Structure 1
Amino acid sequence: MDPTDRESACFEAGIKFGALYHQFAGTPVSPRNAASLGAAIEESIENQPFCEAVTVEILTDELEAELADAPAEYTELTGRFMEVEIVVDREGVGVTARMEMDDGYPRMRVDSVSE
């Protein structure tokens, strides 16, 4: 059985999150470069098929707290330092998906589906 348009659109959102997280996790980040890194992530993922919009908020308050007593001026980007929204449209089905921390884990989930 072929997947439905809804299933295909949700799958596309998952693909975008997989690419985003595994491409950028581990990237050096500091409060100084957080905005430019967030913009670069957005632009990179928006290049993918069916992607309508990507919003990446790198949480500078979290970064500053992490770096308060650190010997370095940067840390590695992980899910706990960002909140992400991805919007895809495939065959007229729109999916909005989000990544936020959930009990210490960067949870990626479908927020809404519209036809």
Structure 2
Amino acid sequence: MPDEVRERAGVRMLVCDPQGPPIATTQDALDLIGAAFLGAELVAVPASRLDEGFFSLGTRFAGEVMQKFVNYRLRLVVVGDISRHLAGSSALRALVQESNQADHVWFVPDLDALDARLRAGRERR
């Protein structure tokens, strides 16, 4: 399945193919942002597509990618199991916890969890 814009839980999003190209540079992130401009307000990226450097906060790659999404007013959702990365970094655990309390960047285990979070957000409004 290629990356595609579709609606889930009432939100138009770019759902990225787990088998797609890796996101290893800020240009790769900008390419996803460009693809999302076809009408998406959220980009769901499988954790498996993110370069290992994303999860090593010392590289600053995660911060650069997240800031690009914020600058373009798109929500970024990292989808998948990142427990291996969380186990090795208290800083990453703090980032994930803080991000999940806000509305710009989320980390969820799967697309069903993303759908549930989006539906819950609509119900609160």
Q: Structure 1 length normalisation: TM-score?
A: 0.35
Q: Structure 2 length normalisation: TM-score?
A: 0.33
Structure number having the greater helix percentage: 2
Structure number having the greater strand percentage: 1
Larger Rg: 1
